[in-house]
Amino acid sequence: MSNALSPAQRLTQLINTISEYNYQYYVADNPTVPDAEYDRLMRELLEIETAHPDLRSPDSPSQKVGGATLSAFEQIEHEVPMLSLDNAFDEGDMVAFEKRIKDRLNITDEISFSCEPKLDGLAVSILYENGKLVRAATRGDGRVGENITSNVRTIANVPLSLRGDTYPSRLEVRGEVIMTRSGFIKLNEAQISKGKKPFVNPRNAAAGSLRQLDPRITAARPLLFYSYSLGLVENEKQPLDITHSARLKQLSEWGLPLSKELETAQGASECLTYFHKVGELRSQLSYDIDGVVFKVDNIEMQQALGFVARAPRWAIAHKFPAQE
């Protein structure tokens, strides 16, 4: 360690370097440092924090693991409800979905849709205030969920601090927590070796891992998070983009992971092409999906379409046939 730097300065340097490596690995999909070097920097960071506990900050990479065991989960009311989606089961449903949108908006022009795989995991909301992760909750019934902040902090690709300085002062990110297939297989092998009951499927394992009262158990589970929308947004430093797909790209710039299969499509016919393409890719993906989600890309159109009951009129989940 350089004699020119104080422990506080070196710690700040290490936090920034490790956070950047995490971003390159998990978000940019471009690992820039060997595992051994990453581990060496983490060891140095832990040594400084152990020697100087007063310098340990909540957004240090060391603080992703641990936390006190809870006796129960606190209930959290979502400031913006987390709604469910209506389903399409065949091509006719997709064509009818587009027709309803055009009729309601009284337009004949082709509609642009944001397309994404429907990840088979657990929906969560993560709130950042001034760029720092302050709270995370399950979807629950859409209005009230459970406070799982300590557990979400342990997920490897969830940033504790956002990148840059253009994010709103309060930003709620919504997405899915999943377990990869390879991680699921390893977890079940470990369960069986300990004489414990294996999990039924990756979704079941991800949900069970997130609802552990001891965050150290969650930290040991191979969970990942992928963003798919924004909830609450307050005090924007710059206007958010007018399309859903561009807003997702903005989340990526702030350090939040996105599914690599995101695309945009014009009209129901291109949506169906995307549906079949992702269906063919399904078995090659590292995680389970049970369909694709289509959202009207234009935010003003979304707002004009509004909601019906517990679902938005501007989004639909096109489900795949059930798989064993």
Q: Are 60 and 18 in contact (CB under 8 A)?
A: no
* List 118, 237, 277, 295, catalytic entry: 118
* Residue 118 annotated to the active site: yes
Instruction: Please tell me the distance from the alpha carbon of residue 128 to that of residue 163, in angstroms, as a whole number.
Output: 12
* Residues catalogued as catalytic: 118
